[in-house]
Amino acid sequence: MKSVWTATTLLAATLALAVSGAAGAWAACWPALVALVLIVVTRQAAAGLAAGVVAGCLMLAGGHPLEAARLGFSDHLFPSLEGSWHIGALVFTLLLGAFAGVLESSGGFAALLQRMIGGAAADRKILGSAYLLGLLCFFDGLANSLLMGRIARPAADHAGISRAKLAWVVDSTSSPVACVAFISTWIATQLTLIRDSLPAADPYALYFQSIPGNPYCLLTLLLVPTAILLRWEPGPMKRASKVVARATTSPAAATSAWRALVPLGVLAVAIALSFQLFSGNPVRLFSLEAWREAASGSAGPVALVAGSIAGLLAAAACHPRDGRIGASALAGAAGLLPALVILVLAWSLGSVFEAMGAAEALQAVLGKHVAANWLPLAVFGTAALTAFATGSSWGTMALLMPLALGLAQAAPELDPRLLPVVIGAVFGGAVFGDHASPFSDTTIVSALASGCEPVEHVVTQLPYALTAAIAAALAYAAIALGLPPVPATVAMAVMLVTAVALAARKPKA
């Protein structure tokens, strides 16, 4: 009843705003508010995202239901199913789900996990193992989330680890490591954005220089193992840890670790090689320039699909001959169908946001009157809020990178050494907003792959994300005051570890 009343009230308010012709930043962000409220009330990500799409289309159509329906399907839903990147992401998700299903049932991961945890079902060892394996899957954030969540869930269940905690480890490892990895699906987008905004610059050089200027991702990758080791659980996570889900699946019987290591190796190598094989240029495996050209080209979707097919075939070849390969692959793929529905709705909502100018409205409100040396901090905050409202780190990067670099170039008093820091602030702010947003595809997929409700995942992850974000903001403040990026990030890393150690210390009786 509460959900129906809330939805009805929001619909009436949306119609009133649409008919009155409301405009401005708050009107442009109204669909995001509708989606956020419905997600919180219904605890269903799909329902909230769909409501946001409906609200946006009604406002774009001036309150006319039939026109809103036409806009929703023709301008937003159907186009979200077009394009190599979106289609590739859908196919890749299904293939990777099948890969994870086969890999899990092979027993190889169970053996690998047992080796890593030393045979003891200790929470720190299991979560630490998931973190380390997540670092190895640096080639794609979405793949990382799907793979680690799907495979580590049975072990976490049987060890009494809450799925919310597993989802936090998975999500807080996947996007940050993909953002700072120099061979990943992210870097093609990152290099293109830098090159388009600064045609005369070397995008790779600026990208590498931006890594120390991206303290959020670096500090998050430090915070995860620190919190695991010290068992630091802020309030929401502590409450979630008291309610451990009953294991719904039994972990596969341990066989041999090579049954997992070989397919994982084939998957990683095949994706990397596919970038060159499908780049349209001659294959030069030992040429750094060839790898740069391949990474910055348009072969990403094909490379992901081709690499995942190779990984799936390797997983099937390494699977015991017990007749379960087909069923395991189908079950793994089917388990991710809800994630695909949410992904399509998230893309549709992102299209609605773009049509309404939501991100531009936020940028116009938050990006004014900033002193040159404080531009990285302002960009970090603007990117975080934009990604939170839109649920898209890539969309945020695409929108803000030209704006941020344009502001930087237009500020003659800006120290040129801060240009890579501005780039890092766009990347880091986008990832932070992604971590905090219930609309984010990687956040949603991390939750679903780990068997956790998306809303619960956002609530329990938020204190960790805010901790790293505050430390990152302090690093940008130190940079604005004259400290170079590397010492600033190192200083905040020391402060972060110290603060977590003090917070995790149990009071004496």
Q: Where are the beta strands (DSSP E) in 287-332?
A: none
Contacts for 310 with CB less than 8 Å, ≥ 6 apart: 266, 267, 270, 274
- At 311-367, the pLDDT tens digits run 899 999 999 888 889 998 998 888 778 778 877 887 788 788 878 887 667 556 655
Q: Please report the pLDDT score of residue 496 as a whole number.
A: 96
Same domain, 27 and 15: yes
- Among residues 223, 233, 229, 221, the alpha carbon closest in space to that of 123 is found at 229
Q: What is the pTM of this model?
A: 0.72
Q: Please report the pLDDT score of residue 240 as a whole number.
A: 82
| Distance of alpha carbon 106 from alpha carbon 324, whole angstroms | 9
Given 80, 97, 121, the domain boundary residue is 80
Same domain, 113 and 256: yes
Given 337, 352, 378, the domain boundary residue is 337
| Distance of alpha carbon 448 from alpha carbon 332, whole angstroms | 12
| Distance of alpha carbon 375 from alpha carbon 399, whole angstroms | 16
Q: Please report the pLDDT score of residue 509 as a whole number.
A: 46
Q: Please report the pLDDT score of residue 194 as a whole number.
A: 81
Same domain, 30 and 141: no
Same domain, 163 and 281: yes
In a domain, 380, yes or no: no
Same domain, 169 and 266: yes
Given 80, 99, 127, the domain boundary residue is 80
Structural domain total, the chain? 2
- Among residues 366, 313, 350, 379, the alpha carbon closest in space to that of 99 is found at 313
Q: Please report the pLDDT score of residue 292 as a whole number.
A: 67
Same domain, 259 and 273: yes
Same domain, 48 and 161: no
In a domain, 263, yes or no: yes
In a domain, 397, yes or no: no
Same domain, 34 and 148: no
Q: Please report the pLDDT score of residue 120 as a whole number.
A: 54
Same domain, 272 and 177: yes
In a domain, 472, yes or no: no
Same domain, 74 and 119: no
In a domain, 449, yes or no: no
Contacts for 504 with CB less than 8 Å, ≥ 6 apart: 227, 230, 231, 232
Same domain, 72 and 11: yes
Same domain, 255 and 325: yes
What region, left, alpha or beta, does residue 202 occupy, with left being phi > 0 and alpha being psi -120 to 50 degrees?
beta
Host domain of residue 13: 2-80
Average pLDDT of the chain is: 83
In a domain, 317, yes or no: yes
In a domain, 443, yes or no: no
Which residues of the chain carry a pLDDT beneath 50?
Answer: 509
Q: Please report the pLDDT score of residue 250 as a whole number.
A: 53
Q: How far is CA 234 from the centre of its chain?
A: 21
Q: What is the identity of the amino acid at 186?
A: W
- At 36-67, the pLDDT tens digits run 788 767 767 788 888 989 999 999 998 899 99
Torsion of CA 53, 55, 59, 62, to 10 degrees: 110
298-321: buried (b, 16+ CB within 10 Å) or exposed (e) per residue?
A: ebbbbbbbbbbbbbbebbbebbbe
In a domain, 322, yes or no: yes
